[in-house]
Chains A and B, each alone.
Chain A
Amino acid sequence: MRMDCRRVRDLLFEAVDSDLPEAVREELEAHLVRCRFCAAEAAAVEAELEALRALPRAGVPADFLQRIHARMNEPQDLGGAGKRFSGLFGGRRFIEAAGLAVAAMLVVVIHHAFLKERPQVKPFVSEQAAPVSKAKPELEPSAPPAEPAMTREEVGRPAAEFQQPQSPPVPAGVSRGSAAPGELSLTLTLKPSPPGTANLMDGKAAAPPFHRDSEQKALRAAPSARPVGEGLDGGAEVETRKGGEIKFRRGEEGAPSGADAVREKAAMHHAPKPGPGGRIHGAMEEIKRIVAEAGGVVLSTAPRGAMDLGEAMVVAEVPPEQLPALLDHLRLLGETRSEHGASAAGEPGAKIRLSLKVIIPEP
């Protein structure tokens, strides 16, 4: 049996201490005589082991025993585990980090306690303020009359939950209540609008998206307009689509007998749909216009989310002398009602703060 070099290289490491079978050992030695590469490898292994045996020994320090005595006499010597623990958690860095953590916790606790002593801020989104996403609760509200910005959590609340500013001098037709001087709180219930038509409040409502199959829907809804046989009467073909307008490619004379019904249905399909959001938005725009014409200024409006729910809130300041005329204009939009009543007028020359809640009547 002849060994190859790979087998010999494996045996080299086992042959040092292991009791190899006599036949294997003889074959190994014979191979090392023949193969100088494997012989060199065997010599290298032996040299490495000799180098290990010849490694110098570490000297014992003169005070080795004294150090052991000192460690044994330490009353709180926790051994290796204790030393490692103190090494990890007893160092200067750990103490610095722990100090910073404690300081941060103190700041948080003090800040929290300070905030608890402050009154809760429940304002509206100011029109002059930054976007809602950037609004933060202010610890020190800016000078009046600006309302503090609304917190983000409050943005989604219905207008009915908002804090109601108190009310001012009482115009005719407004009941008295317990409002603060110079403030007036009203509820405006919008007039119901005729179904299917766009009125003042519906004007800003977003048109529904155009449906490509609106024509087919109209045809299905009006069977009389459906063409009979091939093509339409007189060869008229329905052509068009965009905007919901129906045209006939080949002349009006070729239109089917139900063409008018098709146009009517399609027009109804694409007409702006009345909805609470659209009505509220339209009313808000109209109220802003009325306030501006009365020489007042809109301070804040309710968030969009509340508008979509069918409620909205407007806070404005108007000159006292313009208040009756302003209320008359508001009554054109709907019925006004005092929420908390109104008190005596505030300081002479000061504007009246009007808090107006706009709602849509129940259908």
Chain B
Amino acid sequence: MSGRTAKTMLLSAENGPSDADSIDIRAFLNGEREAFDRLVMRHADRILNLCYRLLGDHEEAEDCAQEVFIKVFRNVKNFRLESRFSTWLYSIAVNTCRNRRKSAEFRFWRKILRLGRDSEESEGGVIPDTEDPSPSPLTLLTNREQERLLQKAMADLSHDHRVVLVLRYVEGLAYEDICQITGYNPGTLKSKLARAREQLHKRIKSM
């Protein structure tokens, strides 16, 4: 609980940067090109991380993140300053990742990469033996192995479940922010989070 509280505090501290976002947006709309660069560098880390956790591939994530900022560059004039810029940015990133995952090209390459990864795992034996009676194989893994296992388990989830898990636990966003980004009402979001946790737990246990 302490980690979540810390992240919530961190998000609350973003009120300052969000004010900085408003200033930079106005400056950019007034023709100051460097203001856009400041916006990018301020949010690149979170957007890139979100894309990586949603897509599962570094190159795709970077390409997708660049696409997000290009969309911002072209549509920032339509942004209403009364809402938070980061929320608007997250919603663009989530939709861009959803479209990217739907594309035939992405599915094709993901299938190819998954086949290669499976064969590599079968040779290297990275996935532990699940006959161990311990409740979760995560307890037996190093941090790097945990990351691979979690990423693999999340890759099998639906896009909606993955989005709510990443926004809530990886990005540490508050419920109201997630509701603004995804468009869910709080009840739907809690229900989706519960189902997402259950699906993730089942997949990890089956590994």
Contact = CB atoms under 8 A, between A and B. Distances in A.
Among A47, A49, A55, A67, the one with the most B-chain Cβ atoms within 10 Å of its Cβ is: A55
A147 B207 CA distance: 76
Nearest to B149: A51
A71 B170 contact: no
Interface in B137-156: 138-139, 143, 146-147, 150
Interface stretch (A37-45, A184-192, A222-230, A253-261): A37-45
A47 B201 CA distance: 10
Interface string A221-263: 0000000000000000000000000000000000000000000
Interface in A59-77: 59-61, 64-65, 67-68, 71-72, 77
B197 to A, nearest CB: 5
B67 A79 contact: yes
B136 A47 contact: yes
- Chain B contact-residue range equals 35 or more
A88 B3 contact: no
Given A50-B3, A55-B150, A64-B62, A44 B136 contact: yes
Contacts of B11: none
B165 interface: yes
Contact of A17 (B190, B198, B204): B190
Interface stretch (B22-30, B45-53, B112-120): B45-53
B53 A55 contact: yes
Nearest to B165: A52
A21 interface: no
Given A43-B135, A47-B136, A55 B197 contact: no
A51 B41 contact: no
A72 B49 CA distance: 22
Nearest to A18: B190
Interface stretch (B80-88, B96-104, B123-131): B96-104
A87 interface: yes
A353 B62 CA distance: 84
A8 to B, nearest CB: 13
Interface of A: 13-14, 16-18, 40-41, 43-45, 47-61, 64-65, 67-68, 71-72, 77, 79-80, 84, 87-88
